[in-house]
Structures are given as structure tokens and as C-alpha cells.
């Protein structure tokens, strides 16, 4: 057995059944599970023709065998949770619903931690974050899509996120890559600061508000270049600007720093083929207590922050700090229910309060050349926020860039401020939503 596999307590070591330890990030997500929150994200692909659900089901059944860490169920041990292979039928393809990213009951859906939906020309994959991050999920979605197109009679090559369903998984795809690279000689502390919190009217249970902005990559790149920054830096600055405007327009006794939680794909800095979680967070911010910020000021601060903190050495130190808790021999023998209580308290009282919004950018997606003619665009949703705020996810394919906002509050002030700023900068935006919002 590899370092990702072992025999849980009570099972003989000679038992050939494989199981997987939760990776360093995945440990937290099941702990935060509650009736109205589940760490579920969604990835979607919009094809050129309507989906045939019976063919899609066959594609799911074929493709999922290639992803052993997704064809699993989650189990509780005395000290840790773990993933165990799931040989039950499923997951079954379902017609899409109005409120996606619903909380995931681990015993429902034949114990699978992922769902596959279809609607019109769209295929959507929802996965619990304990399985992996968006990179792993995109491999699953694109491989399912490629198999689906092949079953329709099209010749589709392997490559990029499309994996060979007839090959054995690379052992590196199954690893907890954090533990391989968590080897800095110091564990840097994480300064916590009081942060502006978005105020909003909580929606009824399971209501999930989506606002999508569809833009041209070339237009956004041109505007970002005019500020001498990357697309990611520019869009981070726009979100900080939108959040700052909301704070300024609200009643407040004092201003607070505005901070964004942004995942960084560590595969860019540390070579790994893992399909599990391999991200860490950085927090671009501005502090209006220091004075008034123009948009140019915000762009400049985000640019300098990114250049300083998104660096191999800082990131290695960050994941080393995280890994120390897992390596600590005392923590390892603490019963799971105590770990859950401590992690939940820390996340609720500290971690969740450390940012005003979330933003992730998967960047420009590539697919095999013979797959391109069948695809219009991709979408990504970070899922339900843990508290009253909005999450923003960005993805692009060819010249289509989609910005997907998701929230569980009625107000859409942040989203409105965000897209107005893009329009002011000369970017054309097409808006789609599963809700109707009144104009001012």
C-alpha cells in the first residue's frame, strides 16, 4: 500500500480493500457540514447540442472507474475520517434543479459524494470538497464529457483534463501532495485582522442565488493591460472595489479592512498530478482606515500583494504551517468528535471572519483540438458561502470568460457594483441569473 492507503482500525492489514486518508484540506470540509451548509462546488460545460441523459449515464459509469478517489464514500473512524471505495450503482444522472450546490447528505445518493446533472445543452458536476479541488473535478467533468461525445460517435483525443479511461491511475494522482511539500524549516504565523463583513437578508433554506457575467477574454485582457496587471489581479481589484463601495454606502460606526479569500493552485509551484485538494489561500486586501482609495490605488495594491505573496517560498511555509497540525502526535490521538468541535469553533470564530468574499480563478481552460467544436463555454461555482456573503468564481474558454457569483442572501449590491465597474471600463457584459433582480 502507498502512503495514501492503509488499513483502518479494526481491519486486518491483509485485507486488500483500499482506502484513502483525507488530504490536508479535506479534513476540514466534513467537519463544517451542517443542515444548511455543505462544502459542495459545481463545474459545468455547455455543449452545442442538447444532452441525451441515457448516453450521459453510460459515460459517467465508464469514466468514473478511472477516478478511484471520486468513486468513494466517506467513513468515520475513531480519530479521523477516511474515503472508502463505493461499489454501489451510481451516481445517477439527474435533471438539473433551480438551486444547485444543495447540502450533501453523505448517506444519500447511494453514499456518493458527487452528483451529475443535465439541462438542455449543459452537463454539471457537483462534488464535495473532501474529494478534491476544482482541478480534480475538472478532470472528472472533461473526461465524462469526452466519453459522452465518443458514445455519440465522435472521435475525441485524450489530453489536458481529459484522461485515458483505459489506463490505470498514476499513483501521484491519488497522493496528498501537501505532505510531500510541507517541508519548510519554519511555520509562519497567520496574522488575523478584523474584516468587513457583508450584511444581507438571509434567503430561505436551500435558496441559492446565481448571477453570471459573460465577457470577452480579449476585452478584459485589454483593460487589465491598460492598468499594467493580469486579468486575475484586475478582477480581484474590481471585487475589492465593489465590496468597499458597499461598505461605504452602509451605515457604519467605523470602517474595516476589505479582504478577499483567494485559492491558489499549488500545482503551479510544486509539481504534482494529484486530483485531490492541492490549494492554499491568500488574502488580497485594502484598509480604508488608512485613507481614501481610488480604483488605481486598489489595482496597484493588489498587484504588489500578488507579486509578494504568491511565491513558492511563502506558499511552502503556509502549507507547512497547516501540515504541522496533522503531524502533531498529540492531535493525532485526540478523538474525532473533539477535533470536530475545535475545528468548527476555529473556523466560525476566526477563519470565516478573515475575509469579506471569496474569489477563485481557474484560468483559461484547454481541451483537445477535436473536442473544441462541441463546446460553447464552462462555468464554475464555489457553492454556498458558510456565512452571509458572496462567492465569485472565474473561468475562461477560448474568448468566453464567465464570472459566476453565488450567494444565499437577497441583496445583490456587491455583484451590481462589480459589473457596473466592468462596464465603466468599457467591457461588454451579458448577465444571466436564476433570479430576477430589480434595477435601481
In this predicted model, what pLDDT tens digit does every residue of 231-290 receive, in sequence order?
A: 999 999 999 999 999 999 998 889 999 999 999 999 999 999 999 999 999 999 999 999
Q: Which residue has the higher pLDDT, 335 or 227?
A: 227
pLDDT for residue 202 is more than 60: yes
Task: Determine if residue 220 is left, alpha or beta; phi over 0 gives left, psi from -120 to 50 gives alpha, anything else beta.
Answer: alpha
CATH number of the domain within which 400 lies: 3.30.559.30
Domain that holds residue 289: 209-317+348-433
Last residue of a domain, one of 161, 181, 201: 181
**pLDDT tens column, 19-52:** 999 999 999 999 988 877 889 999 999 999 999 9
Looking at the fold, whether 85 and 233 belong to one and the same domain comes out as no
pLDDT for residue 173 is more than 70: yes
CATH number of the domain within which 64 lies: 3.30.559.10
Looking at the fold, whether 218 and 276 belong to one and the same domain comes out as yes
CB atoms under 10 Å from CB of 306, counted, come to: 19
Mean pLDDT of 3-18: 45
Q: Which pLDDT does position 17 carry in this prediction? A: 65
Q: Which pLDDT does position 438 carry in this prediction? A: 55
Decide if 236 is inside a domain. Answer: yes
pLDDT for residue 7 is more than 80: no
User: φ and ψ at 80, to 5 degrees?
Assistant: -145, 160
pLDDT for residue 5 is more than 60: no
**pLDDT tens column, 377-422:** 999 999 888 877 899 999 999 999 999 999 989 999 999 999 999 9
Structural domains in the chain (count): 2
Lowest-confidence range among 211-220, 239-248, 318-327? 318-327
Looking at the fold, whether 216 and 139 belong to one and the same domain comes out as no
Residue pair 405/239 in contact (Cβ under 8 Å)? The answer is no
Q: Which pLDDT does position 213 carry in this prediction? A: 97
Lowest-confidence range among 101-110, 143-152, 337-346? 337-346
pLDDT for residue 6 is more than 70: no
Decide if 172 is inside a domain. Answer: yes
Last residue of a domain, one of 137, 166, 181: 181
Looking at the fold, whether 168 and 276 belong to one and the same domain comes out as no
Q: Which pLDDT does position 397 carry in this prediction? A: 98
Angle between helices 413-424 and 231-249 (to 10 degrees): 130
Decide if 328 is inside a domain. Answer: no
- Cα distances (angstroms) measured from residue 393 to each of 30, 149, 232, 263, 361: 22, 27, 11, 10, 6
Looking at the fold, whether 228 and 163 belong to one and the same domain comes out as no
Q: Which residue has the higher pLDDT, 394 or 349?
A: 394
Decide if 331 is inside a domain. Answer: no
Q: Which pLDDT does position 3 carry in this prediction? A: 40
Last residue of a domain, one of 181, 196, 229: 181
Q: Which pLDDT does position 16 carry in this prediction? A: 46
Looking at the fold, whether 293 and 392 belong to one and the same domain comes out as yes
Q: How far apart are CA 156 and CA 153, in angstroms?
A: 9
Decide if 201 is inside a domain. Answer: no
Q: Residue by residue, what is the 3-state secondary structure of 109-140?
A: HHHCCEEEEEECCEEEEEEECCCCCHHHHHHH
Decide if 238 is inside a domain. Answer: yes
pTM tops 0.85 = yes
**pLDDT tens column, 102-133:** 989 999 999 999 999 999 999 999 999 999 99
Looking at the fold, whether 156 and 253 belong to one and the same domain comes out as no
Decide if 330 is inside a domain. Answer: no
Mean pLDDT of 162-172: 96
Mean pLDDT of 203-210: 87
| All cell numbers assigned to 148 | 459522452
Q: Which pLDDT does position 191 carry in this prediction? A: 67
Looking at the fold, whether 101 and 224 belong to one and the same domain comes out as no
Looking at the fold, whether 172 and 233 belong to one and the same domain comes out as no
Decide if 439 is inside a domain. Answer: no
Looking at the fold, whether 72 and 111 belong to one and the same domain comes out as yes
Share of the chain above pLDDT 90, in %: 75
Mean pLDDT of 307-329: 90
pLDDT for residue 322 is more than 80: yes
Looking at the fold, whether 278 and 217 belong to one and the same domain comes out as yes
Looking at the fold, whether 229 and 138 belong to one and the same domain comes out as no
pLDDT for residue 429 is more than 50: yes
pLDDT for residue 15 is more than 70: no
Q: Which pLDDT does position 329 carry in this prediction? A: 82
CB atoms under 10 Å from CB of 412, counted, come to: 20
Amino acid at each position: 500500500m502507498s502512503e495514501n492507503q492503509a488499513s483502518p482500525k479494526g481491519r486486518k492489514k491483509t485485507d486488500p480493500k483500499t482506502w484513502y486518508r483525507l488530504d490536508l484540506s479535506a479534513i476540514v470540509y466534513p467537519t463544517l457540514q451542517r443542515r444548511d451548509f455543505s462544502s459542495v462546488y459545481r463545474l459545468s460545460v455547455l455543449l452545442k447540442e442538447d444532452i441525451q441523459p441515457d448516453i450521459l449515464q453510460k459515460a459517467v459509469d465508464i469514466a468514473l472507474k478511472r477516478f478511484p478517489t471520486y468513486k468513494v464514500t466517506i467513513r468515520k473512524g475513531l480519530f479521523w475520517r477516511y474515503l472508502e471505495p463505493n461499489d454501489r450503482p451510481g451516481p445517477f444522472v439527474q435533471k438539473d434543479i433551480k438551486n444547485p450546490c444543495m447540502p450533501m447528505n453523505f448517506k444519500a445518493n447511494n453514499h456518493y459524494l458527487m452528483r451529475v446533472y443535465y439541462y438542455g445543452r449543459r452537463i454539471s458536476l457537483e462534488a464535495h470538497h473532501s474529494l478534491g479541488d476544482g482541478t480534480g473535478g475538472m478532470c472528472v467533468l472533461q473526461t465524462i464529457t469526452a466519453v459522452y461525445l465518443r458514445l455519440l460517435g465522435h472521435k475525441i483525443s485524450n489530453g489536458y483534463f481529459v484522461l485515458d479511461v483505459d489506463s490505470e491511475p498514476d499513483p501521484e494522482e491519488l497522493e496528498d501532495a501537501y505532505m510531500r511539500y510541507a517541508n519548510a524549516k519554519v511555520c509562519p504565523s497567520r496574522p488575523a485582522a478584523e474584516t468587513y463583513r457583508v450584511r444581507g437578508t438571509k434567503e430561505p433554506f436551500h435558496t441559492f442565488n446565481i448571477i453570471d457575467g459573460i465577457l470577452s477574454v480579449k476585452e478584459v485582457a485589454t483593460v487589465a493591460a491598460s492598468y499594467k496587471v493580469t486579468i486575475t489581479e484586475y478582477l480581484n481589484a474590481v471585487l475589492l472595489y465593489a465590496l468597499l463601495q458597499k461598505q461605504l454606502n452602509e451605515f457604519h460606526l467605523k470602517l474595516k479592512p476589505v479582504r478577499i479569500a483567494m485559492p491558489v493552485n499549488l500545482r503551479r509551484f510544486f509539481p504534482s498530478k494529484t486530483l485531490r485538494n492541492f490549494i492554499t489561500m491568500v488574502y488580497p486586501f485594502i484598509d480604508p482606515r488608512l485613507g481614501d482609495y481610488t480604483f488605481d490605488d486598489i489595482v496597484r495594491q493588489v498587484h504588489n500583494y500578488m507579486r509578494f505573496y504568491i511565491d513558492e517560498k511563502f506558499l511552502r511555509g503556509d502549507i507547512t504551517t497547516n501540515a504541522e497540525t496533522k503531524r502533531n502526535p498529540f492531535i493525532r490521538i485526540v478523538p474525532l468528535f473533539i477535533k470536530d468541535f475545535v475545528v468548527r469553533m476555529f473556523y466560525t470564530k476566526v477563519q470565516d471572519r478573515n475575509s469579506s468574499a471569496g474569489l477563485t480563478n481557474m484560468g483559461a481552460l484547454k481541451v483537445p483540438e477535436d473536442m473544441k467544436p462541441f463546446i460553447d463555454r464552462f462555468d464554475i461555482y464555489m457553492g454556498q458561502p458558510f456565512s452571509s456573503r458572496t462567492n465569485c468564481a472565474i473561468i475562461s474558454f477560448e474568448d468566453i470568460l464567465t464570472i459566476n457569483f453565488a450567494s444565499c442572501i437577497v441583496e445583490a449590491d456587491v455583484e451590481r457594483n462589480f459589473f457596473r465597474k466592468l462596464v465603466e471600463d468599457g467591457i461588454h457584459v451579458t448577465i444571466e441569473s436564476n433570479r430576477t433582480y430589480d434595477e435601481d
